[in-house]
Amino acid sequence: MMEAGYKLDGRYRIIRSIGEGGMANVYLAQDLILNREVAIKVLRLDLQNDPDTIRRFRREELAATELVHPNIVVVYDVGEDNGLQYIVMEYVSGTDLKRYIADHYPIPYAEVVRMMMEVLAAVQQAHAHGIIHRDLKPQNILVDPSGHLKITDFGIAVALSENSITQTNSMLGSVHYLSPEQARGSVATKQSDIYSLGIILYEMLTGKVPFEGETAVSIALKHFQSEIPSVRHIDPNIPQALENVVLRATAKEPSERYQSVAAMTDDLKTALSPLRANEPKFKSKIADEATKVIPKLKPEQYTDTSSAAPASAAVRPASAATNVTKTAPATHTGDQTASLQKPRRRVRSRLRFSALFLLIVFLLVGGGFFVARQLLPVTVPNVRGMTQRQAENALIDANLKVGAATKKADEEVKAGRVVRSQPQAKQKVKRHSVVKMRVSTGKKAYLVKDYTGRYYRSVANQLRQAGFKVKKRRAISHTLGAGEIMAQNLDAGERVHPKGKKIILTVSVGANGFNLRDMTNWPQSSVEEYANSMGFNLDLKYDYSGAVQTGTVMKQSPHAGTAVARDAKITVTISRGNRAGEAAD
- At 300 the pLDDT is 44
* 496 CB-side CA count, 13 A: 19
> Does 135 participate in catalysis according to the annotation?
yes
- Residue 21: phi and psi, rounded to 5, are -135, -175
Give buried/exposed letters for 66-79 (b at 16+ CB in 10 A, else e).
Answer: ebebebbbbbbbbe
- At 161 the pLDDT is 39
User: Could you give the CA distance from residue 16 to residue 38 in angstroms, rounded to a whole number?
Assistant: 11
User: Could you give the CA distance from residue 226 to residue 288 in angstroms, rounded to a whole number?
Assistant: 10
Burial of 332 (0-12, 13-18, 19+ CB in 10 A): exposed
- Residue 4: phi and psi, rounded to 5, are -60, 140
Q: What is the dihedral of CA 339, 342, 346, 352, to 10 degrees?
A: 140
Report the SS3 class of residue 228. Answer: coil
- At 413 the pLDDT is 87
Q: Are 431 and 51 in contact (CB under 8 A)?
A: no
The conformational region for residue 101 under phi > 0 = left, psi -120 to 50 = alpha, else beta, is alpha
What is the amino acid identity at position 98?
A: K
Parse the chain into domains and list their residue ranges.
6-90, 95-157+172-276, 378-440, 446-508, 513-575
Q: What is the pLDDT of residues 69-105, one digit of tens each?
A: 889 888 887 777 887 888 888 898 888 999 999 999 9
Task: Determine if the pTM surpasses 0.85.
Answer: no
- Helical (H) or strand (E) element with 461: helix 456-466
The neighbour count for residue 380, using CB atoms within 10 Å, is 21
- The class (CATH top level) of 446-508 is alpha beta
| CATH topology identical between 6-90 and 446-508 | no
Residue of 96, 135, 153, 410 marked catalytic: 135
Please work out, in degrees rounded to the nearest 5, the angle formed at the alpha carbon of residue 315 by the alpha carbons of 314 and 317. 115
User: Could you give the CA distance from residue 260 to residue 149 in angstroms, rounded to a whole number?
Assistant: 20
Residue 11 is given by DSSP the state T
CATH of the domain spanning 6-90: 3.30.200.20
**3-state SS, one letter per residue, for 299-361:** HHHCCCHHHHCCHHHHHCCHHHHHHHHCCCCCCCHHHHHHHHHHHHHHHHHHHHHHHHHHHHH
Q: What is the pLDDT of residues 526-549, one digit of tens each?
A: 999 999 989 999 999 999 998 999
Contact partners, residue 528, CB within 8 Å, separation at least 6: 538
Binding site, annotated residues: 41
- The class (CATH top level) of 513-575 is alpha beta
Q: Are 211 and 176 in contact (CB under 8 A)?
A: yes
378-440: which CATH topology?
Trypsin Inhibitor V; Chain A (3.30.10)
95-157+172-276: which CATH topology?
Transferase(Phosphotransferase); domain 1 (1.10.510)
Number of H helices, E strands in the chain: 16, 24
Q: What does pLDDT average to in each consecutive run of 10 residues of the chain (585 residues)? A: 85 88 82 89 72 64 69 83 83 90 92 95 88 87 90 58 38 74 83 95 95 84 87 93 95 92 95 91 70 44 38 36 41 49 65 68 57 71 90 86 85 87 90 89 86 94 92 90 92 87 93 91 94 92 92 94 90 90 56
